[in-house]
Amino acid sequence: MSFNYKELSYNQGLVYALACYVAWGLFPVFWKAITGVPAVNVLAHRIVWSFVFLFGWVFFMNRQTFVSYVKQPRLLFRLGLAGFVISANWGMYIYAVTSNHIVEAGLGYYINPLVNVFFGYIFLKERLAPMQKMAVVLALIGVMYFTISYGKFPWISLILATTFGLYGLLKKKANLESMPALTVETMMVFPFALAFLFYTAESSVATPFFPSSALTGSLLIASGLVTAIPLFWFGKSAQVIPLSTMGFIQYVSPTLQLLLGIFVYGETFDIEYLICFAFVWTGLVFYTISILKGKKVTIAE
């Protein structure tokens, strides 16, 4: 069974896009509220409950598409690989938030568009406009400056940017519907997550399948909805919002994360961070200008 939706207006799509990126930007508040549970267990719960809610959604709304994806072995392998990559991204983000590295996580999602450009050049033989090359170089300079001056490699930022970039690379040109595809992805990692939760519950009294706190347990279950709903909004907005506009709106998410990290959770934002961010932000300005000028990448012959 599948349902056809009335086509959205541009303004409705814009509302969906803003709602999606604002929700992602406020994610630290949700993950911070889950206390007393190791980050890897939180990740396992997120995978399990995401699959439960996503499967329920596609079963009633888009069952035929989901089944068609499952019946294609090569596609199933690709989506399974994508599932493990996005799970790594989810896990690193949860770790970053719960270990007070929200600012570094925000840096990762600022870098991500430039990582996408770089991956397109390396793996898809896409030619880059001069401004796009400059954007990538500026981001690299910012990361190198931070590493040398601060004496700390921003590995959380780069793992987040790289895993999300790889996830996009795996799904590029697949032309798949987002919700059924994500359902297959979570289905492929679901058995591992569930087995891990049962294993830790059996082997350690300190990590039961469900914590004793009803609030924490409810939040763990809700992590499935928190994952699925913004993705649904994103899928709806992508139907009518141009990619160039989405490129602007996506900066709402890391900006909110940065503000939360500094002003709500009191994380450090010293001169080394500022200079690193300045290089990355400048690179994003070049990248954005190149998009506005219509200098899109082209596939090499």
Closest CA to 234 of 116, 289, 243: 243
pLDDT the model gives residue 3: 43
pLDDT the model gives residue 240: 81
Mean pLDDT across the stretch 139-155? Answer: 88
Q: Which amino acid is at 243?
A: L
| Alpha-carbon distance values, 115 to 32, 133, 159, 181, 182 (Å) | 27, 11, 11, 23, 22
pLDDT the model gives residue 4: 46
pLDDT the model gives residue 162: 95
CA distance 46 to 57: 16
pLDDT the model gives residue 244: 62
Stretch among 38-42, 175-179, 184-188, 226-230 having the lowest mean pLDDT? 175-179
CA distance 281 to 287: 10
Number of C-beta neighbours around residue 75 at 10 A = 16
The pLDDT confidence band at residue 173, using thresholds 50, 70 and 90, is low
pLDDT the model gives residue 73: 94
Decide: pTM greater than 0.85: yes
Question: What is the residue whose two structure tokens read 């706190």?
Answer: 213
CA distance 145 to 149: 6
Domain ranges of the chain: 10-299
Q: State the alpha helices, DSSP H only, in the chain.
A: 10-25, 27-33, 39-61, 63-70, 73-98, 102-123, 130-150, 155-171, 178-203, 214-238, 243-249, 252-259, 271-292
For 298, list phi and psi in degrees, rounded to 5. Answer: -125, 150
Mean pLDDT across the stretch 102-108? Answer: 94
Q: State the alpha helices, DSSP H only, in 99-213.
A: 102-123, 130-150, 155-171, 178-203
Instruction: Report CA torsion sign: 165, 166, 172, 178.
Output: negative
